[in-house]
Amino acid sequence: MPVTAPPSTVTPPEAGAGPTFSPLYRQIKVLMLRSLQQTEWRPGESIPSEVELAARFKVSQGTVRKAIDELAAENLLVRRQGKGTFVATHAQEHVQFRFLRLMPDSGEPGGMARRLIDCKRQRAPADVARALNLAPNDPVIRVRRVLSFRASPVVFDDIWLPAALFKGLTAQRLAEHRGPMYGLFESEFGVHMIRAEEKIRAVAADAAGARLLALAPGTPLLSVERRSMTYGDVPVELRRGLYNTASHHYRNDLS
């Protein structure tokens, strides 16, 4: 059973507060983020109603609604008409491809088949340790896999994870899991990926990448390095992917 944090209240800032003044709904948002981070509300579960939260924090329902609106806009919460508000989860089908932006030129983005190459525990190389805010040579788990679409290899992923957060992650556990990898991270290890930053560049396939993607060496590929963060902007994954864009394209929505 998760430990429920004691009810929190917010004291509105006095008039004329200094530059550290934060709107009341932003203060409620911070408290709600704390509840998410402490897994009081778990991925996929409903959170208390606006009325219940307003009573808990001793603020108006409208203030709570503004806080929820921001968390929903950041994809941390999901509103469902007539059902309530739920903690976002990568296990939900409509967000399974939230971080994977590679789309087929024709057809739907689903239907990716996974082939696990290996899952090993090792010491973090210097560049990986820096990206994950680890000490040099801290233990990490390295996962390598190939994603195929319609039986054609499309993505080669080289994934690095802090071993301290993923104790017990093995090749067998990954092979047995049928849902998205991030869904497994949520349910089994309590690690929720909420934000990612990427670096993208064009590269030529080296011998290893060409072999895994069934291509000729030198074939143009898209190199995507993604660093994923959990609550508090703590990095919890470094993923380096090689994408074959012969029949796919990288798509992003800008606003």
Residue 251, Cβ neighbours under 10 Å: how many?
Answer: 9
* Whether residues 98 and 158 fall in one domain: yes
Q: Point out the domain boundary residue: 67, 87, 107.
A: 87
At 19 the pLDDT is: 46
The whole-model pTM stands at 0.78
In a domain, 212, yes or no: yes
Asked, for residue 6, whether it belongs to a domain, the answer is: no
Q: Are residues 100 and 81 in the same domain?
A: no
What is the DSSP-derived secondary structure letter of residue 246?
S
3-state SS class at 149:
strand
| Predicted local confidence at residue 255, as pLDDT | 57
- The predicted structure's pLDDT at residue 60: 94
Task: Provide the number of structural domains found in the chain.
Answer: 2
CA 194 to chain centre: 4
pLDDT for the residue 99: 65
- Please indicate, yes or no, whether residues 121 and 143 belong to a single structural domain of this protein: yes
Residue at a domain's end among 72, 87, 102: 87
User: Are 159 and 39 in a shared domain?
Assistant: no
Predicted local confidence at residue 95, as pLDDT: 46
Q: Classify residue 68: in a domain, yes or no.
A: yes
**CATH code of residue 82:** 1.10.10.10
**66 and 144 housed in the same domain:** no
Task: Provide the pLDDT for residue 124.
Answer: 96
Question: Which 8-state DSSP code applies to residue 46?
Answer: B
Q: Is residue 10 part of a domain?
A: no
- pLDDT truncated to tens, each residue of the chain (255 aa)? 443 444 455 554 443 444 456 899 999 999 998 998 888 888 888 999 999 999 999 999 999 999 999 998 888 888 988 888 998 887 654 444 466 677 888 766 666 788 999 999 999 999 999 999 999 889 999 999 999 988 899 999 999 999 999 999 999 999 998 878 888 898 889 898 888 899 999 999 999 999 999 999 999 999 999 999 998 899 999 999 999 999 888 887 765
Q: Which CATH number does the domain housing residue 242 bear?
A: 3.40.1410.10
For residue 81, tell me if it sits in a domain.
yes
Q: 124 lies in which domain range?
A: 93-250
State the virtual CA torsion across 132, 133, 137, 139 in degrees, nearest 10.
-50
Tokens of 211: 């072999």
Alpha helices in 12-151 (DSSP H): 24-37, 50-57, 61-73, 126-131
Same domain, residue pair 52 and 155: no
Residue 224 has a pLDDT of 94
Regarding whether 155 and 183 lie in a shared domain, the answer is: yes
Across-strand partners of 237? Answer: 228
Give yes or no: residues 53 and 100 share one domain. Answer: no
pLDDT at 4: 44
Buried b (16+ CB within 10 A) or exposed e, 13-41: eeeeeeeeeeebbebbbebbbebbeebbb
